[in-house]
Structure formats: structure tokens, C-alpha cells
Amino acid sequence: MPSNKSVSDAPIVQFTNCRILRDHQLQREDLWVREGKILNPEKLFFDEKGSADVQLDCKDSIIAPGFIDVQINGGFGVDFSLATDDFKSGIDLVSQKILSHGVTSFCPTLVTSPPSVYHQVLPQISVRNGGAHGAGILGAHLEGPFISKEKKGAHPEHCLRTFEAGAFQDLLATYGSLDCVQIVTLAPEMRRSSEVIQELTKQGICVSLGHSVANLSQAEEAVQHGATFITHLFNAMLPFHHRDPGIVGLLTSDKIPAGRRVFYGMISDGIHTNPAALRIAHRAHPKGLVLVTDAIAGMGLAPGRHTLGQQVVEIDGLNTYIAGTKTLSGSVATMDTCVRHFQEATGCSVETALEAASLHPAQLLGIEHKKGTLNYDSDADFLMLNDSLYVQATYIAGEEVWRQDALGM
């Protein structure tokens, strides 16, 4: 069949002998890619009379959308909450290293810090596409400092702030700029938080509820004002109580505005959340579950002392604590580990586990038309995995950016 080059001269790659995750199902069909996008083969055959320039045998791999990590504090010795002269090379290192764990896009996350840190770090974070250089950056996630003292977790108390009379102006003065900000985590019970949530939402920034002692009605009010996410469910919030379930109650609330979905992050590392709690959340609200790593600088490094912003943390096996305490401080789990643990703990389908790390975070950020799915015309960011959900290769914009055998593993 002659290739019709009138539409584009770019080569067409056909991935064969694979099972593609599309429409919530693994489907045995080929994946067609051109110019970084996923092609509709019917249009290619019938409208363009085109065919593949290159065929790749996937050897019965699963092909799934690339993982999206919306809460990652650093990794491989790099801490996003530290203002350093070589911050850019640090973020480049993390974005390169997480490719091997299937992450194709992420939100670098800053924990509660002094204003000077935000003013130095945020101008150095820019939204960018992924590629051979590393995973794409979707924008920063600012977790704090407008959070509850009682539920500060690993956040330094001396840096916490409240909203004063000009609430949104306080936030702007603290952060310096919102240009590259994608998510802000705040405690909704704080005075004047409603106006801040409305203003952030108006600017297209996702508001997440976390590190909070909010009751259910305060959480519902925050959602009515535009909040759409819960930061690491169960961690750093009031525990579920049958008379007032707190933020956890949003999973089954009947006060969520029509057409709105509340999403919630889960650190599925076997440490932060008991498998039974993971199962409860998943069964209560499966379509809202977003896997996050909440990884810190110590991810990928040997046990010992590392940093998380202003704090020193100690890694002991998979546990990470504020040094000298038993306060958990982020995780050292990688995203592919979280996906496998989630599937094992809940007994959910492979499709469900993969979508919790791809489709759901994309829906949360409103980018599901281009990321998080393998629909036609979406970005060709995808993974090849074996049946045990170990990543074999990572592709961004249709280009291979990491492969297991390339490292002789």
C-alpha cells in the first residue's frame, strides 16, 4: 500500500503484538504513532491510504499511558524544597531518573518553606514537555504553608502561615508568583480559605485539601468553592469518625456539585496506608483514586540521613521519619512500585491499577485530552510493561526514552 505523504512526511510507527489499555480495557490491537501523537489507523488507511514506515514487535507487552506523579518532593539526592544554585540540574536529574519507573510527567512538589525559598525556587521551575532529557514538568505542587499546626506532619512549624485580611495577597506575597503552579494544598478550615480557593480555581490552579483538621462540612464547602483534590488521603488529617468523617467523608458525600468529581491521592507504599484502608477508599470511590509517590530526596538512595525541605529525615528500610521522631515524612517508593502494591492490596484489575497512575491524575489536572490515555490524537507518552507490571520501556512523544535491556538489566 503506497504511503501518502501529502498529510505528513513524518515516519509512521506501528507497535504490534501488544495489548493496549484503551477505554478501561486491555485490547489486543496495534498502536500507531506519528509526530508524537497516537494515530487513528482507520483514517490512515482510508483517508490517507497510508501505511507504517516502521513496525515494532512488542512481544506481547502491555502498552499503557505514561504515569503522572502529581506529588513528588524530590529523589536521587535532590530536594525540590531546597534553594540551591544548581536547582535546575537537580530537577533535570530527577526527571531523567524517574523515566525508568514509568513516570512521563510530574509536578515537582515543595513542602512548607520560608517565602525566600519559594521566591528562589519557583522561577526556576518551568512547564516543559518530556523527551529523552526526562519526564515532562506539568507545574509545581505547593504543599503548604497554609496548613494546620495540629496536622503539620513533616512540615516545619515555624514556617506555617495563616491568611490575614488580604488572604489571596498573602498567598501571592508568600509564593512570589503563581506562573508555574499547578496545585496548592491548603487546610480548608483556615479563616478566609474560601476566597483563596475561589481565586486559585479561577486562575486554573487545582486546590487540594490536606494537612488539616477540617470537619466534613468545611471540606464540602471547600469543594463547593472549587477544591477538587485531597492530599494523601488518611495521612495528616482527622481520622474517619462515624459522626463526622472529616475530609475522608468527601469520598461518599452527597454535597459534591453536579458534574464535579473529587479526586484523592494515595501513597500506596505499604507504609503510609494499611492495605485495608487502601481497599476501603478504593471501594468507596474508585474513580477518584490517584496514586502519588510523595517521594523525598532519599528515593533511590541508601538508608541514612537525607533532607525534606527544612527538616532532616532518616530512612530506615521503606520507612522515612523526621530524624529523632516517629513522624512519617514522605516516601521512598517509586511510582511503578506503588502501582504494583495497589493492585496486590486491592485485588483490582490491571487496568484499574494502571489508570490510577495515568488517567486519573490527568483528569484531575484537566489534561486528559492529551495525557493519561491512548486515545487517538493524544500525546504518545506510553509504557511497555510485562504482566507483573514491571516497566520494560518508556516512550515520550512516540520516542523511546528508556529501555530496561539498554542498561543490561
Q: pTM score, two decimals?
A: 0.96
Work out the average pLDDT over 187-193.
97
| 407 has pLDDT over 80 | no
| 6 has pLDDT over 80 | no
- d(Cα 30, Cα 15) in Å, to the nearest integer? 6
CB-CB neighbours of 171 under 10 Å: 20
Known binding residue 235? Answer is yes
| 4 has pLDDT over 50 | no
Just give the CATH number of 13-64+373-403. Answer: 2.30.40.10
- d(Cα 14, Cα 41) in Å, to the nearest integer? 10
Domain with CATH 2.30.40.10 in the chain: 13-64+373-403
| 106 has pLDDT over 50 | yes
**Which grid cell is 164?**
490575614
Known binding residue 330? Answer is yes
Question: Of 9 and 242, which is predicted with more confidence?
Answer: 242
Known binding residue 232? Answer is yes
| 314 has pLDDT over 60 | yes
Known binding residue 329? Answer is yes
Domain with CATH 3.20.20.140 in the chain: 66-365
Among residues 69, 79, 269, 294, which one is catalytic?
A: 294
Known binding residue 40? Answer is no
Work out the average pLDDT over 235-241.
95
- d(Cα 292, Cα 232) in Å, to the nearest integer? 8
pLDDT tens track for 145-178: 999 999 999 999 999 999 998 999 999 999 999 9
Phi, psi values for residue 343, rounded to 5°? -65, -40
> Has 377 been annotated as catalytic?
no
| Per-residue confidence (pLDDT) for residue 7, from 0 to 100 | 59
pLDDT tens track for 331-345: 999 999 999 999 999
| Per-residue confidence (pLDDT) for residue 406, from 0 to 100 | 56
Q: Decide: 193 and 146 in contact? Cβ < 8 Å.
A: yes
| 47 has pLDDT over 90 | no
- d(Cα 302, Cα 366) in Å, to the nearest integer? 37
| 382 has pLDDT over 70 | yes
How much is the mean pLDDT over the chain?
95
Known binding residue 143? Answer is yes
Work out the average pLDDT over 279-301.
97
Just give the CATH number of 66-365. Answer: 3.20.20.140
**Which grid cell is 107?**
509536578
| 2 has pLDDT over 50 | no
Q: Decide: 86 and 49 in contact? Cβ < 8 Å.
A: no
